[in-house]
Structure 1
Amino acid sequence: MNTRPRRLSNDAAKSRGAVLPLDEAKRTFPVNRMLVLWCPDWPVVAAAAAAGLPAHLPGAVFLANQVVACSATARSVGVRRGMRRREAQSRCPEIEVFVDDPDRDARFFEPVAAAVEELVVGVDVVRPGLVAVPVSGAAGYFGGERSFAELLVDHVSGSAGVECQIGIADGLFAATLAAHRSAIVARGRNAEFLDPLSITELDQPDSNRTELVDLLRRLGLGTLGSFAALPQRDVVSRFGSVGLLGHRLASGGDERPPNRRKPPPELAVTREFEPALDRVDTAAFMAKTLSTKFHAGLAARGLACTRLGIYALTERGEELHRVWRCAEPLTPEGIADRVRWQFEGWLRAAAGERPTAGVSVLRLTPEETVEGKSLQLGLWQGSDSGGEHTPEAERAARALVHVQGLLGPSGVFTAVFDGGRGPVERVRLVPWGDRRAPTDGHDAPWPGRLPAPSPATVFESPVPATVTDSSGEAVSGTERCQLTAPPWKVAVEDGSPRRVIDWAGPWPELTRWWVPHGAGTQARLQVLLEGEAAADPAVALLLSWQHGCRPEWTVEGRYD
């Protein structure tokens, strides 16, 4: 991860007078002035570090077969976010392919946050790769914003060995965009700095403003300045609360008004653990229950959390803490995610940096709250449509968490529709609470995939079957997966043979072709069998034949 640190520059928006040269930025500003430290392409940097690869190699992180982050080397040859994997590899054949893993990103970012905390207090982790700190006190102590910014860049680059950039502005949003440009924005000049920037800058991670940005672009509003020029009354009437917040940011304001409610101390949630937590999966499981309780306590007072403090005490008295800042109010799932990410950073740190004992006490504290109406959930949408939750979905989630508490973290599963050819391959069970995301390649063509409709019942273990022709001889398959004779009767396990009314297939598949001497042939066959009695309805089954296996025929599923 050791790379050459990038020095601060003042290229962006200088012609508009919004950015000060670093040697001129030596004044102390009010408390709402923020410094943001940004590590470019952090998901790729963390993935390369986890794989033991140099950070300068071309690499990209993929989610659902699309690029979600790529290195500067990959971008130099045309790889971009949102690009399909096949197109990215065609433009850069030597690109390293990584899987999206927020837990990994958080684990490798903890040393960076700790390095920032060595110089300044009040560090807020916005997300892995981005931290924010109030700049006024530190700038006064270190001799001005310029001195503090350069010292912080050098310290983080030397201590954590990562490339980083710093931006300073009034408010988190403007400071984040300034960090992307290594710029210091003069006090009160946010609007001038933001004016020429693209409207797509509003679509920051976890901001839920993708649809708004897309609509603004189609309306011809291509810059933040053009959006900010609209009357606020018109923006609210046309775009609602989401548009109002975007308009406030585009105009140079902050995510929330400066005077925020001070959380009552009794809203903190504390839990002791016996035995102590020394595994990330156990901590993640405990965090789900604790985050639900924490969120419910806030909701009962009409509040939602925007800055989450995570405090822990180990069995040997070591005190750990970290504050996570969020642009949007946190949901129970968002709280649990950040607790899990933090434990990834604490418990899986390098030797000598991780705690010497397990965590015996965990406390969640709302460092900053807003009115609960800021977390307005959808009225009709369920948890599987857009990520919003209805009361029914919330009650079901609490019930599943309760059952999981009785059976353990691996006692409750939900199904994820995944890639594959057969019905068993296309369904993956995920423990409740884990990310329900399909794997890379789930939407690939998959030659030989079973055509629709899929069987309603899929057996956990294939059921043996026997297929015979009209003369009573066993029906098998050839090397090309062709049937040796039309199927006439099928017997499932030790049951009596039933006559085949109709059949379709076979659909051939070459299995394990990538394994030397391990390739095989398989075929699937749909059959409609007569009922056991004359009045019984017909039964539709999905049969599978595999060369060289005993039994050759098995029942994979049953159609309704």
Structure 2
Amino acid sequence: MLAVWCPDWPAVAAAAAANVPASAPVAVVSANRVVACSATARTAGVRRGGTRRESQARCPELHVARADPDRDARSFEPVAAAVDELIPGIEVLRPGLLLLSARGAARYFGSEESAAERLVDAVAAVGVECQVGIADEVSTAVIAARHGMIVPAGDGAGFLAPLPVAELSAEPSLAAPDRVDLVDLLVRLGLRSIGDFAALSPVDVASRFGTDAVAAHRSARGEPERPPSARVVPPDLDVEYHCDPPLDRVDAAAFAGRALAEKLHVALSAAAVACTRLLVQARTANGEHLSRTWRCAEPLTPEGTADRVRWQLDGWLTGRSGSKPTAGVVVLRLEPVEVVSAGALQLGLWGGVGDEDERARRALVRVQGLLGGEAVQVGVLSGGRGPAERVTVVPWGDEPVPDADPAAPWPGRLPSPSPTALTTTRPEITLVGAAGEPVGVTERGMFDRDPAVLTWGSSSWSLHGWAGPWCVDERWWDPGAASTARQVARAQMMLEDARAVLVLHDGGRWFVEGIYE
């Protein structure tokens, strides 16, 4: 197998879309975390997983862009077209990484080295840098591409053995989502190199870890991770969409692609199979034929299929491949090239299959589109002394920035545990001692008498215990802040029915601020 890898592709695509020089530091963020960055940004101290603010503090001239899979796919189409023109039969794993058979390329160009050089030149001609790796297996070839290596036949295990075990999770398109947790566990077990992991018995790995660990172990040993599918593709699984009028706009093509993806997965479900390699084909009104194969480590979901169809049509119709069709698309066809048992496709929480978080995100965005951005809000951990003060509510999709730093010292802050539920109206209660006298808080921050009975509305409970009070004296040093300064105290009360409440003493009165369930 021959792998062509374009380093830091999301950052490269973001820079190209914003007309930022390739030498400028660029970072791509998602959920306020860096998911990709350019080599220049890494030199300045920017790292994947770091926060946006931390990265900008380390590199003030950093260009920050939001993660956009559609942008990445559109920008990668010229690279895929350049490679496919030189060596037909490519498979796209993800934008920035593609595969093809090395045997035919080596025979045509005389050697594997010559084929790799021609591919690097072809990709450079479209203004992109890449690295090529050749090895017996797919995952080994991808790792070899990251190192710019050609691994001799049969020496995959020897090439992988000295590498850090983290290399097994470096490429998400070839691993399950929890591969990072597996690698972290292996490191804590003392298996720091791929060779250490490969030395384990396959029986021990299968009995101790899950399915993805078995696949990773086969990869570490240089064995075929996913052999050619022995399942014959059932007939009549191919689906077509005849476009009338012809499709020449990306939005209309994307709509047709989504409908076709749903139709394909209905047929796959009826045949009890799932697709792992998909061929997207299109025919124009002038008889031009376009095709591209997408390969996936995990079975495709309807959403994943629709995304790949949309990306591919976007690349074709906008002419980013360098050969824009001369007419609109009249026939769109999806063909499952490789299928596996439908048991490999897990049902999701939301009644379907695929990434539940992504489906929930889309649903929330649609609610915002119908009702406004403020209709969907999320809580962000903030700084403060009371439980309500420690929650900053921001609209869904906005940067989750708290009103105050939660890591700062907050004298008088309520200790753990926090209440399960907060009251919005702060109902007033009565707290009295054993003789019926009202309970107050002294200037020294102590109860003036032991609490014995709590009355809330028409109900009263004997107290089986309490904790506190915790006093807060805010802005006492600022004479001009009389309107915002306050002296309050909080306490936790255990009721006779084993429930607990958080009470607040403010202005000589008691209120319920939270409930422990």
On whether the aligned pair clears a TM of 0.5, the verdict is yes
Residue from 302, 313, 330 that aligns with 2:283: 313
User: Partner of 1:291 in structure 2?
Assistant: 261
Question: Contact 1:173–1:254 at 8 Å: present in 2 too?
Answer: no
User: Partner of 2:146 in structure 1?
Assistant: 180
Query: In 2, Cα distance between the equivalents of 1:376 and 1:232?
Result: 25
User: Partner of 1:497 in structure 2?
Assistant: none
Question: Contact 1:260–1:368 at 8 Å: present in 2 too?
Answer: no
Map 1:546-557 onto structure 2 (within 5 A): none
User: Partner of 2:300 in structure 1?
Assistant: 330
SS at match of 1:68: strand
* TM, length-normalised to structure 1: 0.64
- CA shift for structure 1 position 168: 0.2
User: Partner of 1:114 in structure 2?
Assistant: 81
User: Partner of 1:474 in structure 2?
Assistant: none
SS at match of 1:266: coil
SS at match of 2:16: helix
Query: In 2, Cα distance between the equivalents of 1:261 and 1:94?
Result: 53
SS at match of 2:86: coil
Question: Contact 2:315–2:321 at 8 Å: present in 1 too?
Answer: no
> What letter corresponds to residue 198 of structure 1 in structure 2?
P
Q: Once the two structures are aligned, what percentage of the paired residues are identical?
A: 54
Q: Go from structure 1 to structure 2 and tell me whether the alpha carbon gap of 1:412 and 1:263 turns closer, same or farther (over 3 Å shift).
A: farther
| Mapped pair 1:361 → 2:331 | yes
Cα RMSD for the two superposed structures:
3.5
User: Partner of 2:42 in structure 1?
Assistant: 75
Query: In 2, Cα distance between the equivalents of 1:100 and 1:271?
Result: 31
Q: Go from structure 1 to structure 2 and tell me whether the alpha carbon gap of 1:417 and 1:123 turns closer, same or farther (over 3 Å shift).
A: farther
Question: Contact 1:104–1:344 at 8 Å: present in 2 too?
Answer: no
- CA shift for structure 1 position 360: 1.9
Cα deviation, 1:398-419, whole Å, max 9, x if unaligned, reads xx9xxx9xxxxx9999986469
Q: Go from structure 1 to structure 2 and tell me whether the alpha carbon gap of 1:134 and 1:260 turns closer, same or farther (over 3 Å shift).
A: farther
Question: Contact 1:261–1:370 at 8 Å: present in 2 too?
Answer: yes
| Mapped pair 1:170 → 2:127 | no
User: Partner of 1:252 in structure 2?
Assistant: 222
Greater Rg over alpha carbons, structure: 2
User: Partner of 2:355 in structure 1?
Assistant: 387
Greater relative contact order (Cα 8 A, min sep 6): structure 1 or 2?
Answer: 1
User: Partner of 1:539 in structure 2?
Assistant: none
Query: In 1, Cα distance between the equivalents of 2:40 and 2:394?
Result: 35
Query: In 2, Cα distance between the equivalents of 1:215 and 1:354?
Result: 48
> What letter corresponds to residue 150 of structure 2 in structure 1?
I
Question: Contact 2:301–2:353 at 8 Å: present in 1 too?
Answer: no
Map 1:423-442 onto structure 2 (within 5 A): 426-427=394-395, 438-439=397-398, 441-442=399-400
Query: In 2, Cα distance between the equivalents of 1:454 and 1:276?
Result: 58
Larger displacement relative to structure 2 (268-277 or 92-101):
268-277
Query: In 2, Cα distance between the equivalents of 1:454 and 1:182?
Result: 60
Query: In 2, Cα distance between the equivalents of 1:218 and 1:39?
Result: 31
> What letter corresponds to residue 402 of structure 2 in structure 1?
P
Query: In 2, Cα distance between the equivalents of 1:178 and 1:350?
Result: 28
Query: In 2, Cα distance between the equivalents of 1:272 and 1:412?
Result: 36
| Mapped pair 1:134 → 2:101 | yes
> What letter corresponds to residue 36 of structure 2 in structure 1?
A
> What letter corresponds to residue 329 of structure 1 in structure 2?
P
Question: Contact 2:241–2:256 at 8 Å: present in 1 too?
Answer: no
Cα deviation, 1:504-536, whole Å, max 9, x if unaligned, reads xxxxxxxxxxxxxxxxxxxxxxxxxxxxxxxxx
- CA shift for structure 1 position 446: 4.0
Q: Go from structure 1 to structure 2 and tell me whether the alpha carbon gap of 1:97 and 1:251 turns closer, same or farther (over 3 Å shift).
A: same
Query: In 2, Cα distance between the equivalents of 1:177 and 1:416?
Result: 42
- CA shift for structure 1 position 356: 2.9
Question: Contact 1:311–1:321 at 8 Å: present in 2 too?
Answer: yes
> What letter corresponds to residue 54 of structure 1 in structure 2?
P
SS at match of 1:366: strand
Cα deviation, 1:115-144, whole Å, max 9, x if unaligned, reads 001111111111101110001012111101
Query: In 1, Cα distance between the equivalents of 2:208 and 2:371?
Result: 43
Gaps of 5+ in 1: 1-33, 405-409, 429-437, 456-560
User: Partner of 2:246 in structure 1?
Assistant: 276
Cα deviation, 1:191-232, whole Å, max 9, x if unaligned, reads 111112222222222422233223223322222221111111
User: Partner of 1:161 in structure 2?
Assistant: 127
Q: Go from structure 1 to structure 2 and tell me whether the alpha carbon gap of 1:189 and 1:258 turns closer, same or farther (over 3 Å shift).
A: farther
User: Partner of 2:90 in structure 1?
Assistant: 123
Q: Go from structure 1 to structure 2 and tell me whether the alpha carbon gap of 1:412 and 1:260 turns closer, same or farther (over 3 Å shift).
A: farther
| Mapped pair 1:230 → 2:200 | yes
- CA shift for structure 1 position 90: 1.3
> What letter corresponds to residue 162 of structure 1 in structure 2?
V
Question: Contact 2:350–2:356 at 8 Å: present in 1 too?
Answer: yes
Cα deviation, 1:54-109, whole Å, max 9, x if unaligned, reads 11111111111111110011111221111111111111111111111111111111
Query: In 2, Cα distance between the equivalents of 1:92 and 1:258?
Result: 47
| Mapped pair 1:93 → 2:63 | no
Query: In 2, Cα distance between the equivalents of 1:417 and 1:127?
Result: 32
| Mapped pair 1:445 → 2:410 | no
- CA shift for structure 1 position 348: 2.5
Q: What is the total number of aligned residue pairs between the two structures?
A: 393
Question: Contact 1:139–1:147 at 8 Å: present in 2 too?
Answer: yes
Query: In 1, Cα distance between the equivalents of 2:337 and 2:372?
Result: 33
Query: In 1, Cα distance between the equivalents of 2:225 and 2:213?
Result: 12
Query: In 2, Cα distance between the equivalents of 1:167 and 1:351?
Result: 23
- CA shift for structure 1 position 359: 1.8
Query: In 1, Cα distance between the equivalents of 2:287 and 2:112?
Result: 36
Query: In 2, Cα distance between the equivalents of 1:352 and 1:263?
Result: 33
Q: Go from structure 1 to structure 2 and tell me whether the alpha carbon gap of 1:351 and 1:35 turns closer, same or farther (over 3 Å shift).
A: closer
| Mapped pair 1:214 → 2:200 | no
Gaps of 5+ in 2: 383-390, 406-420, 425-517
Question: Contact 2:15–2:22 at 8 Å: present in 1 too?
Answer: yes
Cα deviation, 1:328-369, whole Å, max 9, x if unaligned, reads 221111111111111221223359632233222111111122
> What letter corresponds to residue 38 of structure 1 in structure 2?
W
Question: Contact 1:377–1:388 at 8 Å: present in 2 too?
Answer: no
SS at match of 2:319: coil
Question: Contact 1:304–1:371 at 8 Å: present in 2 too?
Answer: yes
> What letter corresponds to residue 57 of structure 1 in structure 2?
A
User: Partner of 1:488 in structure 2?
Assistant: none
Query: In 2, Cα distance between the equivalents of 1:225 and 1:95?
Result: 38
User: Partner of 2:155 in structure 1?
Assistant: 189
User: Partner of 1:200 in structure 2?
Assistant: 166
Cα deviation, 1:281-301, whole Å, max 9, x if unaligned, reads 333333223212212322332
Residue from 240, 244, 252 that aligns with 2:210: 240
Q: Go from structure 1 to structure 2 and tell me whether the alpha carbon gap of 1:274 and 1:60 turns closer, same or farther (over 3 Å shift).
A: same
